[in-house]
Amino acid sequence: MRKEGDTAKQMRADLLGAATGRGAAWARRLGRQVSAAAQIAATQLGRALRNRTGPGADYRDRISVATWLVVLGLGASLVIDLPTAVVSFWAFGSPITLPFTGAIWFAIFLALTAATGAQSVVAAHPANANRISVLGLENWPYWALPMALTSIAVLLLPLGPSPVIQLAAIALSGALIALAYAGLYATVEPGAPGSRRARLLLDSLAYGSALLLFLFVYQTRTRSLLSGTLVAATAMLLAIEILRSVTPRARVALVYGGIVGLVLGEVTWALNYWVLPGLTGGLLLLLIFYLLIGIAQHGLQGRLTRRVMIEFAVFAVVALILIALVGPGFTLTVS
The listed range with the strongest mean pLDDT (13-27, 40-54, 79-93, 283-297) is 283-297
- The answer to whether residues 101 and 230 belong to one domain is no
Mean pLDDT across the stretch 24-49?
46
Mean pLDDT across the stretch 302-325?
89
In 3D space, the residue among 282, 230, 291 whose CA is nearest the CA of residue 261 turns out to be 230
pLDDT digits 0-9 by tens, 42-98 = 444 344 434 444 444 588 899 999 999 999 999 999 888 888 777 777 766 667 777
- The answer to whether residues 133 and 225 belong to one domain is no
The domain of 7 spans: 1-53
Task: Flag whether pLDDT at 182 surpasses 90.
Answer: yes
Least confident of 171-185, 228-242, 275-289: 275-289
Q: Which residues contact 149 (CB under 8 A, 6 or more apart)?
A: 114, 173, 176, 177, 180, 205, 209
In 3D space, the residue among 271, 301, 306 whose CA is nearest the CA of residue 289 turns out to be 271
Question: Band of the pLDDT at 129, cuts 50, 70, 90?
Answer: low
- The answer to whether residues 173 and 272 belong to one domain is no
Mean pLDDT across the stretch 280-306?
90
Mean pLDDT across the stretch 276-302?
88
- The answer to whether residues 41 and 73 belong to one domain is no
What pLDDT is attached to residue 188? Answer: 87
Mean pLDDT across the stretch 89-118?
82
Q: Which percentage of the chain shows pLDDT scores above 70? A: 75
- The answer to whether residues 67 and 49 belong to one domain is no
- Last-in-domain residue among 12, 38, 53: 53
Question: Band of the pLDDT at 247, cuts 50, 70, 90?
Answer: confident
**Helices 163-186 & 102-123 angle (0-180, nearest 10):** 30
- The answer to whether residues 99 and 181 belong to one domain is yes
- The answer to whether residues 160 and 196 belong to one domain is no
| pTM as predicted | 0.74
Burial 39-49 (b: 16+ CB within 10 A, else e): eeeeeeeeeee
- Last-in-domain residue among 163, 186, 209: 186
What pLDDT is attached to residue 168? Answer: 93
Amino acid found at 282: G
The residue count for the chain? 335
The listed range with the strongest mean pLDDT (47-61, 223-237, 279-293, 314-328) is 279-293
What pLDDT is attached to residue 149? Answer: 93
Least confident of 73-82, 205-214, 222-231, 265-274: 222-231
- Last-in-domain residue among 164, 186, 208: 186
- Rounded Cα gap, residues 148 and 217, in angstroms: 14
- The answer to whether residues 15 and 110 belong to one domain is no
- Rounded Cα gap, residues 260 and 263, in angstroms: 5
State the chain's mean pLDDT as an integer.
Answer: 78
What pLDDT is attached to residue 10? Answer: 53
Number of domains in the chain: 3
